[in-house]
Chains A and B, each alone.
Chain A
Amino acid sequence: MKHGRKTVYLRHQSFLKSHHPYQRLKKAFNGHQETSSSLTPLTGIEVYEKVINIDHTFGKSKKKSSVTNIWKKISIFFDLSYWSRLEVRHCIDVMHVDKNVCDSLIGTLLNINGKTNDGLNARLDLIEMNIRGELTPIEMGKRTYLPPGCYTMSKDEKVIFCQCLKDVKVPQGHSSTVKNLVPMQDLKLIRLKSHDCHILMQ
């Protein structure tokens, strides 16, 4: 994106089941209807056929190959004769994903300064993509006013949310004491370990 200086990946709707109602929504997503069905992941044999011709040397190589290829090397696991027969060869660790998703979700919902992903640059990118007109930042003299999105909690909602979390009691050893993680005067969550994020996401 131009303003946020990040690469974003779109068209997540295509991973839904075909004819899912979300695929026809234009306004809620990036302004286009999603018609293509989801792509099926490559099987092991297909991957093996793709990577078998790649010539890759390990270690520091002086010249880079001019051909850009998304597959970089033949994975050493293909030395195992049965590896290409497996359907799910690599699993992604749930805990890492949980932590990242939970962090940005809590940051954006509670609008924590520095944690939220909903800043000025994100709003400017929305104008660039020509969607979500109601979130356009309004310039008022020196200051710029960001209209709150429907997802951002108001102060009362934040109090209810934090109070609810504060009252949660968990069995011993289930997660860290949630009461200590919620400072009521700041209305945010602090010192979340990745395991707490996992419990929260559950």
Chain B
Amino acid sequence: MYRHSADSIQWMKFDDEFLEFGKESRNIQLCLATDGMNMFGNMSMNHSSGLVLLVIYNLPPGLCMKQKHMMLSMMISNPKQLGTDIDVYLSPLIEDFKLMWDQGVEVFDEFVNETFKMHAMLFCTINDFPAYGNLSGCSVKGHKACPICEEDTTSQ
């Protein structure tokens, strides 16, 4: 039964492949969600703004998608839609992810009263279809729009 991302094959495979990471249950798996939005309920803004959220997948399914437990890591504001250039804005975040994966950070655990090295990884991204194209660099419009069929997409 699939109730949580922890039940997925990807999660189990990842833990098998990177044993050091999988052993420590306090290592966190994050998910990155992006979307564009309109601020202040104003539906006709000539300014593009977007947000990047981080979701902690280690929490139980009832909690992990609640507003209280999500991290607003970034607000992107630009006069025009960013398109594929979103990578430039994401690079500081990726830098942090690299640090969290390679070295880890010292974190104090209150429950057992000790400090430990916490690692974190990016599990997947959640986005709508246009943002899929921007994040992955794959074509999502025009005649070759299907990211699975690629060159063989049939269209009329």
Contacts and interface: CB of A to CB of B under 8 A. Distances in A.
B108 interface: no
Interface residues of B, number: 51
B87 A90 contact: no
B152 interface: yes
A70 B151 contact: yes
B50 to A, nearest CB: 13
B9 A70 contact: no
Given A71-B137, A90-B132, A91-B124, A76 B142 contact: no
Nearest to A51: B137
A80 B8 CA distance: 21
A87 B10 contact: yes
B146 A9 contact: yes
A184 B129 CA distance: 35
A58 B67 CA distance: 33
Interface residues of A, number: 40
Contacts of B146: 9
Given A85-B14, A89-B125, A90-B132, A7 B145 contact: yes
Contacts of A76: 87, 90-91, 94
B113 to A, nearest CB: 31
B98 A80 contact: yes
Contacts of B98: 79-80
Given A59-B85, A75-B136, 9 more contacts: A58-B87, A58-B88, A72-B84, A75-B135, A77-B125, A80-B94, A90-B124, A90-B125, A90-B127
